Amino acid sequence: MNAVIETRGLTKTYGTVHALAGLDLTIPKGGVYGVLGPNGAGKSTLFRILLGLIRPTSGTASVMGGAVGNIASMRRMGSMIETPRYPPYLTARQALKWLALSHGMSGDVDIARWLDRVGLTEAADRRVRGFSVGMLQRLGVAAALLNEPELIILDEPTSGMDPPGIQDMRALIRSLADDDGVTVVLASHQLLEVQRICDRVAIMNKGKLVREGSVSELTSVGARLSLSVTPIAKALDVLGGKGRHEGAHVLVDTPRAEGPAVIRALVESGVDIDEARWVGADLESIFFTETGAVQTPEAI
Amino acid sequence: MLIDAIRAEGFRLARSRTTWFWSILFAPLISLALSVLGMVFMKANEARLMETANMPPEAMEVFAKAPIDMAQALAETAGKLDSVLLLPFVLIGVATLYACDYRWETWRLISARNTRPNLLLGKIAVAVALALVAITFMLFSGVIESFIQGAVFNRPLAFEATGDLVGQFFARFGLSWLRVVQFGILALLAAVVTRSLLAALFIPMVIAVAQFFSPQMLGPIGMAPDAWFAILVNPSAATDALKMAASGGMEAAALPAGLLLKAWISMGLWTLLPALGAIAWFKRQDLSKE
């Protein structure tokens, strides 16, 4: 596995607070990688260390095969940390030109192409002081893409965006990974969004890695089959110890792969099935289980 | 890599119209406007002023019709370009240049792809250029003032640039520039340590005022003006000594032996130490909260 980011025993301490507590993380090349965790889990601290904004207390971190701070490696990466800000008197086009010069690119970099890619063509010559948060986010993504990076790190890329903007951003992120071969690493609080666009995820809590794996792997473990059946008693007989009656449904603890066989057995035994669906194994429930965070009614 | 930082800073500064106005245009324009007002006032009251001047009419006539030596005026103005009155305006631009990335939280956009010393050195290079442009504009305003003075008082203009005068001009201009750059470097240190635009603006101003008054405080404590300590703590005195030496003549000859070496060391230390301090501080600085 070709790693684009690797951390070993990464620790960052602020006084008595351990923002990162010996984090070992390997992010493979390719695809979209999500970093999840409640507030204070250490996601932003991790990103800031990877970008060289802060120094770790101990441990090591490498980006694109070079230590953090190795400029040659860092120039193969793009990033957007929180909502970016720019000198307010610059237009969007000038802001990108300024960043291109700052990053050692020639002044004739194709800025119009990146503005078009993030949907800012019409606002290209407007001063950024009048931009909404969503527009600043889009410009931030364009800035991160300017040097055609192999790796892009995005912290809350859809924060402050309206629903169409979020949809566009999701499509852009997937297209970067699928069409351009860019490895995208993103942090987001939008668990559904992460489940939709990420190939792999890492769940962090209290500065440590608590779960890591592909989204399909994680969501296939611990899922239960929820059935709406009649008669319920007969269904429970057929299922034996695997099934239990809960409300109007029968819940079956079984691996996803055995789901069709369970349904077939019930149908062959004369049980009518009105509805069948997998419950409880989405990224959200895994997140709450692993982090011990309390699910609010809204979150449920 | 350093060239990337310089090009980016230059590009950004060139588009900041506010900075251009306040740090480059405002002081020369105001200075010119005040001079013209003064000339108009004098012209309007010329007769009364001549009556009260208590000079023979022949002498007044010669004085009033004497040519304005622009070369001499330029050389004199060149030595005053680091004045405490001009400094705040140059510092507006310099402080903005140094502190803006903290204010706008833009370090996170640019710090990953260049070394931190290069980022600061790029800013210093552009600030040095900004200081040069600012004092050059001030000098030009002096030239325009001479033309207006000639027109208002019907005095002919002369330009007698002897070799000595040209040398004096460049030496004074260079020393004034170095002095402004020196305050710019102090603004850099203040900006990096405090992350504040206001601190970057006011701390060098406070130091400038303190240096203005410090020679008067050293005398009462029994310290000779050419003592090592007096020169090292007061680069203002060092600049004055160097400008005096550049002027030549009796004043230069009367300078104490060894004073110029002390003056150059003082100027060097006040320029290099804050720059090195700022770079050392910045290299270890946490940029997560600009």
pLDDT in tens, A208-222: 998 898 887 777 766
| Interchain CB contact of B14 with A (< 8 Å) | no
Q: Which of B107, B108, B281 to mutate to test the interface with A (most CBs of A within 10 A)?
A: B108
- Place A294 in a pLDDT band, splitting at 50, 70 and 90: low
> Is residue A289 a part of any domain in this protein?
no
Q: From CA B162, how far away is CA B181, in angstroms rounded?
A: 28
Task: Report strand pairing: A3-14 vs A77-80.
Answer: unpaired
Looking at the fold, whether A147 and A121 belong to one and the same domain comes out as yes
- Place A140 in a pLDDT band, splitting at 50, 70 and 90: very high
Smallest Cα–Cα separation from A118: which of A151, A91, A144, A81? A144
Residue of B nearest to A51 (CA): B112
What does the pLDDT read at residue A162?
85
CB contact under 8 A, A53 and B5: no
- Please give the residue that has the higher pLDDT: either A9 or A286: A9
Looking at the fold, whether A199 and A256 belong to one and the same domain comes out as no
Q: From CA B208, how far away is CA B216, in angstroms rounded?
A: 14
Q: Which of B12, B16, B109 sits opposite A84 (nearest CB)?
A: B109
Residue pair A46/A20 in contact (Cβ under 8 Å)? The answer is yes
Q: Is the pLDDT of residue A233 over 50?
A: yes
| Interchain CB contact of B2 with A (< 8 Å) | no
Residue A38 CB neighbour total at 10 angstroms: 17
Looking at the fold, whether A40 and A138 belong to one and the same domain comes out as yes
Give the rounded percent of residues in chain B with a pLDDT score beyond 70: 99
Looking at the fold, whether A210 and A232 belong to one and the same domain comes out as no
| Interchain CB contact of B112 with A (< 8 Å) | yes
Looking at the fold, whether A239 and A94 belong to one and the same domain comes out as no
Q: What is the total count of domains within chain A?
A: 2
Give the rounded percent of residues in chain A with a pLDDT score beyond 90: 48
Note the ipTM here: 0.86
pTM: 0.84
Q: Dihedral through CA A250, CA A253, CA A257, CA A260, nearest 10?
A: -20
Q: Is the pLDDT of residue A292 over 90?
A: no
β-bridge mates for residue A208, sequence order? A205
What does the pLDDT read at residue A277?
84
> Is residue A71 a part of any domain in this protein?
yes
Distance from CA of B55 to the nearest CA of A (A): 57
* Residues A21-38 pLDDT 10s: 999 999 999 999 999 988
What does the pLDDT read at residue A295?
54
Looking at the fold, whether A173 and A268 belong to one and the same domain comes out as no
> Is residue A96 a part of any domain in this protein?
yes
Looking at the fold, whether A169 and A78 belong to one and the same domain comes out as yes
Looking at the fold, whether A127 and A252 belong to one and the same domain comes out as no
Taking chain B, what is the end-to-end CA distance rounded to the nearest angstrom?
23
Average pLDDT, chain B: 89
Q: Which of B4, B108, B284 sits opposite A102 (nearest CB)?
A: B4
Mean pLDDT confidence for B199-206:
94
Taking chain A, what is the end-to-end CA distance rounded to the nearest angstrom?
36
Q: Which of B4, B17, B108 sits opposite A104 (nearest CB)?
A: B4
* Residues B21-36 pLDDT 10s: 999 999 999 999 999 9
Q: Which domain holds residue A254?
A: 223-279
Mean pLDDT confidence for A290-294:
66
Q: Which of B18, B113, B115 sits opposite A103 (nearest CB)?
A: B113
> Is residue A295 a part of any domain in this protein?
no
> Is residue A9 a part of any domain in this protein?
yes
- Written as six digits, the tokens of B230 are 């007096």
Cα torsion A255, A259, A264, A265: sign: positive
Q: How many helices (H) and strands (E) does chain A have?
A: 11, 14
- Place A298 in a pLDDT band, splitting at 50, 70 and 90: very low
> Is residue A288 a part of any domain in this protein?
no
Looking at the fold, whether A36 and A178 belong to one and the same domain comes out as yes
Q: Which of B1, B100, B112 sits opposite A52 (nearest CB)?
A: B112
- Residues of chain A with Cβ-Cβ distance to B113 below 8 Å are 71, 74-75, 102-104, 147
What does the pLDDT read at residue B45?
84
Looking at the fold, whether A136 and A21 belong to one and the same domain comes out as yes
The last residue of one of the domains, among A214, A248, A267, is A214
Residue by residue, what is the 3-state secondary structure of B75-141? HHHHCCCCCCCCHHHHHHHHHHHHHHHHHCCCHHHHHHHCCHHHHHHHHHHHHHHHHHHHHHHHHHH
- Written as six digits, the tokens of B281 are 């501080």
CB contact under 8 A, B15 and A54: no
Looking at the fold, whether A122 and A57 belong to one and the same domain comes out as yes
- Please give the residue that has the higher pLDDT: either B74 or B50: B74
CB contact under 8 A, B7 and A74: no
Query: Residue A254's domain is classified under what CATH number?
Result: 3.30.70.100
CA distances from A90 to A107, A119, B4, B94 (A): 16, 18, 18, 18
Looking at the fold, whether A57 and A146 belong to one and the same domain comes out as yes
Q: Is the pLDDT of residue A300 over 60?
A: no
